Amino acid sequence: MYNLHSLPYLGVLLMAAAANNLLDKCISSNPKYTMNVVLLEDNNYEWSLQFVKPAVEQAIEKDRQENINHGLNIFLRANFSGFNTSVYNRQGCGSSACEGVAILNTLHEKGEVGCIMLGPSCTFGTFQLVDDDIGFSRSIPIISAGSFGLSCDYKPKLTRILPPARKISDLLVNFMKKKLPFKDIWNNVYVYKKSSNATEDCFWYINAMEAPSASFATNTKRKMLRGEKELKQALTTNARYSNIVILCGGVDEIVSVKEKLGHVHEDIIFVLLDLYNPQYYTNTTSSEGMQNVMVITLPQRNYSYDSNSSYNGTINDYVAGYHDWALHFGKMLRETLLNRRHNKESSGVPPTINPFGNSSFYGMGGHYVLDEYGDRDVNFSMIYTSTDTGTYEILCVFDTSRNATIVINSQPALPWKGGHLPMDEPENPNVLNLQEVILIVLSVSVVVVTAIALIFYRQNRKELLIQKKWSHIDPHLIGPLNEKEVSLKIDDDKRRDSTYYTHRGCYDKKPVILKELKHTDGDFTEDQRIELNTLLRIDYYNLTKFYGTVKFEYGVFGVFELCQRGSLRYILNDRISYPDDTFMDMEFKISVMYDIAKGMSYLHSSNIAVHGRLKSTNCVVDNRMVVKITDFGWHTILKPGRDIWTAPEHLRKDGVSQKGDVYSYAIIAHEIVIRRAPFYTHYCSDPTEKIQRVQYPSGMSIFRPDLNFDGASEREIELYMLIKNCWDEDPERRPDFKKIELTLGKIFSNLHNQATETYMDNLIRRLQMYSRTLERLVEERTSLYKAERDRADRLNFMLLPGQVVRSLKETGKVEPELFEEVTIYFSDIVGFTTLCHYSTPMEVVDMLNEIYKNFDSILDHHDVYKVETIGDAYMVASGLPKRNGNRHALDIAHMALDILSFVGTFELQHMPGIPLWIRIGVHSGPCAAGVVGKKMPRYCLFGDTVNTASRMESTGLPLRIHVSQSTINILQRTDCKFEYEKRGETYLKGKGKEMTYWLTGVTGGKYNLPTPPTAENFQRLQQDLAEMIVSSLEKRGAGRKSFENRNTLSTKVGQRETASLRTDSPEYFHLAVADRSTYL
């Protein structure tokens, strides 16, 4: 009934242009004329694939018939791709952030990308596909019935066929700020945000009102109410902030909320966002709970495309939107092909930001009007309950394309007093009477008159004391500098002077540098205060700004504007970032000299009059490559300079002068031209000697830096003559900075054959030169960064489980988790202390490294996770962090058998013939896991299962797999037939006696397990192992003396320990040494 204003011709032409471009892509794509539909496979959502798929298929069938009728042999087709979020911890749209990207990558790999994509409807999923900052380069035009969030605004690749959150915020602001016959202007408002279970549209509509930088928050005084408790506290108190409450949901939800609130004040107005509920048009009878509710909803629609077709499936605004766009896209392709058949070219209409922007068409979902960004504009209806009829009636219409409110009923039968919407702020019961108001006005008038008189009095005194004041900054106002600020910097950390870096900070949201005033304690004299006050008034773009002084416990500092590129001396030294051939050419050098001349010209004409310490380290460069002068105007606090930049007359007699500044400028200009050390000359390299030869020239010749005129161009010669004039021995013959500025300006203009050039032109040209160099450097640094990032990721995935690494990268933390059933493996090297006793430290390290590298390679063939190694202990778990049903026990059992088989064939490199024995313990049960600590985080396991598994290992025997009853029970439930022997009841510390088993193999499996030693006494095993090691080492070395001189982990191999060695080795050692086949 209330349609948006028509868009004749322009929308059609733009859509034709967009279709023409897309047709080219469709023709060149493989397969042709294909669109992909990517949505959730979840029955809980209105846009689920099972609801949308029949509608899209029907639209494609309609399009096929139309193509046949027009004699076209092309057929639009659709690929349907869904993702089911039930496997994720979070459900629905909250889990859709990466699925769309994965599906689109798969389509690219299969070569089935097609022309456009319908979906996703979730903001999280769509944002990953359309945001340019993320850098995903495989996106195609996306049509979404949803994706309401502000993060998806103004995306050229995205077209939204349902109104986004930005449109809702704008219409609410327009309604609140507009005075209408039935309402006044509103400013204060409550926004109610459900604590949980918010629908996708409501979540993003309310989020747009909550966002601090969005239009709603900046144009209204909104207060967020999070949860029913805050809502009740806000509305049941007499000191309400507002009478207006905006919330999102359906009729049942608002009625439920009002029932929980109980009685509320009669001036309360609920503004309900219920956009996609057509019941207000189909069942117009209102309920008592809707009396003080204003509903904002979409206009009436009948979900029918034409009189000759119908749709019997599930229908809603999401399904209708996807159906209509599939049909409309087919129509666009058909019309473009027909135009080409008749040699009709599309009109040359300028392209919009979005290929489908500024267009309109009709469909089952009504009239679709898209703005220039491809977002849908709608004529929303505001519906109220009439007190006369008890039915829903339209109060006004919001036209989002013009951001206008159109009144439908200027005299509505509203349930509030006087048929008028209440004010946004509650009435104050404590209103002042007329007498009180008059008294207050008179009192205020007296105070104001007195204040004005006082101001005039203080102003007169201020003129007398102005020269004695300066700005002293409170230390608390100096904060740390935000190092994450983005600027055009190259290798900034290497540039900073160490002293300046230590004293960098932030003042009044500006980066500043704090320079210590070493010759004062902060108790300034009258002359010093006058000087400081003069500095405060200096504000020129080629001079650094002085903000005041600040006193800390460790000294007094001047606070200055920070130029983050550092000093000019640093820029001249940095030939990598600022090369001569591409950046630091003659044009730029003259520009730098021109900046310094302008700054000094202004300084000499100000009350400061002279610098006195001008040098290349006191010329700094900001992010715009503008040179600024610093350290000026401190004559009463800082001593005059005495260095290679100082004029000869001031070397002979201390002092400062404007002509002395001109000499210093000449030395800086020479530095800029030749890019060498200050005062560079072949005849002398010692700075002290240079100063002495300038101060006391020999005869008629004066000592100056080298300046070669050979091969110089006309402009360069003109520049060199200016430099020579500036360092003339006679100060009176040196030009002033006004003349220098004029000469440089002329030289600079002649370089470009221009009579004049503005400061902005000069600045833009500098930045263009710098950007060319910066692009090359950024590309190099980016490639290095990516390589380092990939190496760091590989290392992280080796140290922690993959999903734990991803959680740490995304959120910075990992939530601890309880696993109902896992299997844990412990193993330990038998006699490790004895082996270490007779081994050097490097031999021990090499031995463990060789053993555990082989263990790790075995783990790669099983679904297990290596927890850690501590010394000779090796810990593995299965069933976490990825649950795998009952396979955790099976995988650990197979892995233990593989490890034991490997141990039977392993030979110690530094002790040939000495067997390697390990004990293995396995136990299954519940376990908790999580990342502990912030530095060097580890994925740790906790619980009685871990302790029991460790006890199983410690109570086991060499070359045996000791398994608990719980693990055996799980293995018996699997199809794999494991072989095991009952050991009997074993005492486990902290558990008592438990039935345990020896795992010996798998029926039909070929495991080459070693034969366990026969000795049950651990002390005897240790002693026999020591005897064998000593015997082996004596045979390899030059007798006992060589053996005793080995630098082993033992401090000394005592004579007593080896005196009682038995000459004969025990039976099981003969088996281990003499016949290796025993282990096979």
Residues 610 and 479 in one domain: yes
Task: Indicate the SS3 state at residue 479.
Answer: strand
| SS3 of residue 80 by DSSP | strand
Q: What are the angstrom distances between the C-alpha of 43 and each of 86, 313, 408? A: 11, 14, 39
Angle made by CA atoms 243, 244, 248, in degrees to the nearest 5 = 145
Residue where the block lists tokens 């080409």 = 340
Average pLDDT, the chain: 82
Say if CB 63 and CB 330 are below 8 A apart. yes
Q: For residue 757, which amino acid is it?
A: E
Q: Is residue 496 scored above 50 in pLDDT?
A: no
Query: How confident is the model at residue 479, as a pLDDT?
Result: 87
896 φ/ψ angles, rounded to the nearest 5 degrees: -65, -40
Identify the band that residue 56 occupies on the pLDDT scale cut at 50, 70 and 90.
Answer: very high
Residues 528 and 482 in one domain: yes
The answer on pLDDT for 876 being more than 90 is yes
If pLDDT is split at 50, 70 and 90, which confidence band does 792 have? confident
Residues 200, 328: one domain? no
C-beta of residue 612 within 8 angstroms of C-beta of residue 635: yes
Residue 452 has pLDDT above 70, yes or no: yes
Backbone phi, then psi, for 375, in 5-degree steps? -100, 145
Is the bond preceding 881 in cis, omega lying within 30 degrees of 0? yes
Non-local CB neighbours of 195 within 8 Å, separated by 6+ positions: 226, 227, 228
Laid out side by side, the sheet with 221-226 consists of: 221-226, 188-193, 244-248, 269-273, 293-297, 379-385, 392-399, 404-407
* DSSP secondary structure of 157-226: TEEESS--HHHHHHHHHHHHHS-BTTB----EEEEEE-SS---HHHHHHHHHHH-TTSHHHHHSEEEEEE
Residue that terminates a domain, selected from 763, 789, 807: 763
Question: Domain total for the chain?
Answer: 5
| Rounded Cα–Cα distance for residues 304 and 363 (Å) | 7
**Does residue 786 lie in a domain region?**
no
Q: What is the mean pLDDT of residues 47-53?
A: 91
Residues 405 and 483 in one domain: no
CB atoms within 10 A of CB 651: 17
pLDDT at 494 (0 to 100): 39
Note the pLDDT of residue 357. 87
The CA distance from 61 to 860, in Å, is: 51
Assign 735 a pLDDT band (cuts: 50, 70, 90). very high
Beta bridge partners of 873: 870
Please report which helix (H) or strand (E) contains residue 1021, including its range: helix 1018-1036
CATH assignment of the domain containing 608: 1.10.510.10
> Is 149 domain-assigned?
no
Measuring CA to CA, which residue among 337, 313, 336 is closest to residue 56? 313
* 258 vs 805, higher pLDDT: 258
Of 56, 66, 62, which Cα lies nearest the Cα of 337? 66
> What's at 338, amino acid-wise?
L
Residues with Cβ within 8 Å of 916's Cβ and at least 6 positions away in sequence, in order, are: 829, 851, 903, 906, 907, 908
Domain final position from 451, 468, 485: 468
Residues 394 and 460 in one domain: no
Q: Are residues 442 and 524 in the same domain?
A: no
Is the pLDDT at 434 greater than 90, yes or no?
Answer: no
Average pLDDT rounded to a whole number, residues 688-697: 90
**479 and 447 inside one domain:** no
Model pLDDT, residue 429: 58
Burial class for 586, CB neighbours closer than 10 Å (0-12, 13-18, 19+)? middle
pLDDT band at 646 (very low <50, low <70, confident <90, very high): very high
Q: Residue holding tokens 């593995």?
A: 876
Name the packing angle between helices 586-605 and 658-674 (round to 10°): 170
Residue 336's contacts (CB-CB under 8 Å, 6 or more residues apart) are 16, 19, 20, 23, 346
Q: Is residue 713 part of a domain?
A: yes
Dihedral, CA atoms, 834, 835, 840, 843, nearest 10 degrees?
-160
Residue 1079 lies in a domain: no
In a domain, 770, yes or no: no
The residue-averaged pLDDT of 394-406 equals 92
The pLDDT-based confidence of 1028 (bands split at 50, 70, 90) is confident
Give the structural domain span for 532.
475-763
Rounded-to-integer distance, Cα 1018 and Cα 956, Å: 11
Q: Is the predicted pLDDT of residue 808 greater than 80, yes or no? A: no
Classify burial at 937, counting beta carbons within 10 Å of its beta carbon; exposed 0-12, middle 13-18, buried 19 or more: middle
pLDDT at 12: 42
Q: pLDDT category, 765, cuts 50, 70, 90?
A: low
Q: How would residue 1070 be classed by pLDDT, with cut points 50, 70 and 90? A: very low
Q: What is the tally of helices (H) and strands (E) in the chain?
A: 33, 32
CA distance 487 to 622: 10
17 and 91 belong to one structural domain: yes
Nearest to 544 by CA among 475, 467, 613, 633: 633
Q: Which of 672, 655, 487, 656 is nearest to 597 (CA)?
A: 672
Measure the CA–CA gap between 119 and 322, rounded to whole angstroms.
8
CA quadruple 289, 293, 297, 302: dihedral, nearest 10: 40
Greatest mean pLDDT among 74-88, 274-288, 789-803, 1017-1031 lies in: 274-288
Torsion of CA 317, 321, 323, 325, to 10 degrees: 170
Q: Cβ contacts of residue 59 below 8 Å, gap of 6+?
A: 323, 324, 326, 327, 330
Crossing angle of helices 759-799 and 586-605, rounded to 10°: 110
User: What are 570's two structure tokens?
Assistant: 């640093």
Instruction: Report d(CA 617, CA 499) in Å as an integer.
Output: 13
Residue 2 pLDDT: 44
Lowest mean pLDDT among 261-265, 629-633, 1019-1023: 1019-1023
**Cis status of the peptide bond prior to 31, with omega within 30 of 0:** yes
Count of beta carbons in the 10 Å neighbourhood of residue 401: 17
Among 658, 654, 685, 612, smallest CA distance to 693 is for: 685
The rounded percent of the chain whose pLDDT value lies above 70 is 82
Q: Is residue 1013 part of a domain?
A: no
Number of neighbouring beta carbons within 10 Å of residue 151? 17
Which run of H or of E encompasses 877?
A: strand 873-878
Express each pLDDT in 959-999 by its tens digit: 899 999 999 999 888 877 888 899 888 888 888 888 999 99
Using pLDDT thresholds of 50, 70 and 90, give the confidence band for residue 497: very low
Q: Distance between CA 767 and CA 744 in Å, rounded? A: 20
The closest alpha carbon to 2, from 301, 242, 253, belongs to 301
239 and 384 part of one domain: yes
| pLDDT score recorded for residue 815 | 79
What is the model's pLDDT at position 318?
93
Q: What's the CATH code of the domain at 229?
A: 3.40.50.2300
**Are 293 and 320 found together in one domain?**
no
In angstroms, the CA 580 to CA 574 distance is 10
1075's CB contacts (< 8 A; 6+ apart) are: none
Q: Give, rounded to a whole angstrom, the gap between the first and last alpha carbons of the chain.
A: 89
What's the pLDDT score for residue 469?
Answer: 56
What band does 4 get if pLDDT is binned at 50, 70 and 90?
Answer: very low
Say whether both 648 and 566 belong to one domain.
yes
Residue 812 lies in a domain: no
Please report whether residue 1010 resides in a domain: no
Annotate 287-339 with DSSP letters as a single string: -GGGTTEEEEEPPP----S-TT----S---HHHHHHHHHHHHHHHHHHHHHHH
Q: Report how far Cα 31 is from the mean position of its chain's Cα atoms.
A: 37
Is the pLDDT at 813 greater than 80, yes or no? no
Find where tokens 């003659």 sit: 586
Q: What is the mean pLDDT of residues 499-505?
A: 59
SS (HEC) of 108-126: HHHCCCCCEEECCCCHHHH
pLDDT digits (tens, 9 = 90+) for 84-128: 755 443 455 766 667 778 888 888 888 888 889 998 999 888 888
For the ranges 55-64, 674-683, 908-917, the lowest mean pLDDT is seen at 908-917
pLDDT digits (tens, 9 = 90+) for 830-851: 888 888 888 888 888 888 889 8
**What pLDDT was estimated at residue 223?**
95
In Å, the largest CA–CA distance within the chain is 121
Q: Hey, what are 934's tokens?
A: 């912030």
pLDDT confidence of residue 1008: 82
pLDDT band for position 65 (cuts 50, 70, 90): very high
Least confident piece of the model among 83-87, 214-218, 768-772: 83-87
Q: Are residues 989 and 856 in the same domain?
A: yes
Task: For 936-984, give the DSSP string.
Answer: S-EEEEESHHHHHHHHHHHTS-TTEEEEEHHHHHHHHTSSS-EEEEEEE
Distance CA 744, CA 891 (A): 81
Q: Among 763, 778, 804, which residue terminates a domain?
A: 763
